[in-house]
Amino acid sequence: MNNLPSAMMAVTKQEPTPGVVIRDVPIPVMGPDDVLVKVQAVSLCGTDVHIYNWDAWASGRMHPPLTIGHEFAGTIVEVGSNTSRVMPGDFVSAESHIICGKCLQCRMGQYHTCQNVKILGVDTDGCFADYTVVPENNVWVNEPTMPPHLASVQEPLGNAVFATLVEPVTAASVAIFGCGPTGLCAAAVAKAAGAGLVVAIDVNPYRLDLAERMGAYVTLNPMEDDIIEELKRRTDGNGVDVVLEMSGSPAAIQTGLKSLRMGGRFTSFGIPSVPVDIDFSEIIFKGIRVLGVSGRRMFETWYQTAALLKTERLNLAPLVTHRMMLSDFDNAMHIMRSGMSGKIVLTPDGM
C-alpha cells in the first residue's frame, strides 16, 4: 500500500435505519483476485434510494455496516497477485454483479441470473468512497479519453442496452413506459439502434423533456393523453411492436400490455412494489413475449454498450443533469427523490 492514505471518506450505512453516515473508514483490503481503484466519479441509482430510505427490500437484504454505491469510474492503483488482465493506471468501471461462477446458471453462461450474486455496495463494500475494491473479473477497461462522469453511467446504460436490445428493434415501434434514468437511456439506445418510432411515456414533464433530448420522437403523458389510443393511432391501429416497461407502475404494466400489437414484445424491467393484477389471457391471445430483464449480460452487454458509445449515435450528454461533491450526498439524494433529475454524478472530495 505504498503512498496510499490509511483512511478515506466513504458514504456508509452504519445502522439498519434510514439515511447514510459519511465518515472516515480504512482503505478497503484487496484479495489476490481483486484490484484497488481510486474513484474519480460515481453515480446514484434507484437502488441507492431504496438503501437510503431503508425500505422493505433494503432492510431484508442488507447487513450494515457497509460502504454503499455500485456505479463508478476510476483508475486502478493496485492489482492482486492472481490478476493478469489489467494493470495500475488503467481507467476502469465495473460490472456491479459479482457472480459465483459455480451455480447452474453460471455454468450455463447465464451469469446475469447467478443465484449467489453479490452486488457491489449492497452485499459488499461499494464505491461511494475515495477508493473501492472489485474483482478483476468485474473490471471493464474504459477508453482513456472517456469523461469519468459518462464512464460512471455505463453500468445503468447497460441495463437499458440489455432491456432494449434483448430482441432487435431496428425499424420497430418502441414505447418506453417510465423515464427515469434507465428509460431515458432506453430512448437513446432505441434511436441509436434504428427504431422506427420511439415513444417515451411518463407523468413527469421534466423527465419527458429529458426523454425528448435523449432521442424520443414522441412524448406522452398519461395525465393528459390516452396512451393506448395514441400508440394505436401512430401504428396504423395495430399497437406498438415493443413495450419497454421501466416504471414498475401497475397501471403502466396494464396499459403497456394493451398497447402492444399482436405478437409484440414486452420487456419488464421496472420493479413493482406491489403484486400486479394483469389479464393473462391478453398475453396468450395476443401471442406476446414477456421478457424479464435485470442486470446486464456478462459481458456481451458491455461490449454492445461500448460499441454504441463509439458510434457517437448514442447521445448521453442530456442524461447527467447534476454534478456534485460526494460529501453533498444527502442533498443529491434529496434531488434524486424529488424526480427532478436525470443521472446525478458525484465526485469524491479527494479528487
Residues near Zn ion (CB under 5 A) are 99-100, 103, 106, 114, 116
Please tell me which residue in 12, 50, 182, 322 is annotated as part of the active site.
Answer: 50
On whether the CB atoms of residues 196 and 172 are closer than 8 A, the answer is yes
Strand, coil or helix: 258: helix
CB of 116 to Zn ion, least distance (A): 5
Q: Is 112 a catalytic residue?
A: no
Cβ neighbours of residue 216 closer than 8 Å, sequence gap 6 or more: 176, 187, 191, 198, 199, 200, 208
CB of 99 to Zn ion, least distance (A): 5
The residue among 108 and 284 lying less far from Zn ion, judged by its C-beta, is: 108
Amino acid identity of 231? L
The residue among 109 and 339 lying less far from Zn ion, judged by its C-beta, is: 109
> Within 10 A of 290 (CB to CB), how many other CB atoms are there?
14
CB of 120 to Zn ion, least distance (A): 16
The residue among 106 and 165 lying less far from Zn ion, judged by its C-beta, is: 106
Amino acid identity of 337? R
Please tell me which residue in 47, 219, 301, 305 is annotated as part of the active site.
Answer: 47
The residue among 106 and 160 lying less far from Zn ion, judged by its C-beta, is: 106
The residue among 22 and 100 lying less far from Zn ion, judged by its C-beta, is: 100
Strand, coil or helix: 191: helix
Strand, coil or helix: 324: strand
The residue among 110 and 204 lying less far from Zn ion, judged by its C-beta, is: 110
Specify the DSSP element, H or E, that contains 186: helix 181-192
CB of 294 to Zn ion, least distance (A): 14
Nearest to 298 by CA among 143, 97, 104: 97
Helices 205-214 + 181-192 axis angle, to 10: 30
CB of 102 to Zn ion, least distance (A): 6
On whether the CB atoms of residues 288 and 310 are closer than 8 A, the answer is no
CB of 203 to Zn ion, least distance (A): 38
The residue among 106 and 133 lying less far from Zn ion, judged by its C-beta, is: 106
235 — phi, psi (to 5°)? -130, 40
Cβ neighbours of residue 327 closer than 8 Å, sequence gap 6 or more: 9, 22, 349
CB of 301 to Zn ion, least distance (A): 17
Query: Which residue's beta carbon is nearest to the bound Zn ion?
Result: 114
C-alpha cell at 251: 397501471
Q: Is 67 a catalytic residue?
A: no
Three-state SS string over 43-68 comes to ECCHHHHHHHHCCHHHHHHCCCCEEC
Residue 130 CA to residue 119 CA, distance in Å, equals 19
C-alpha cell at 322: 447534476
Residue 134 CA to residue 26 CA, distance in Å, equals 16
β-strands 218-220, 240-245 pairing: unpaired
The catalytic site residues sit at 47, 50
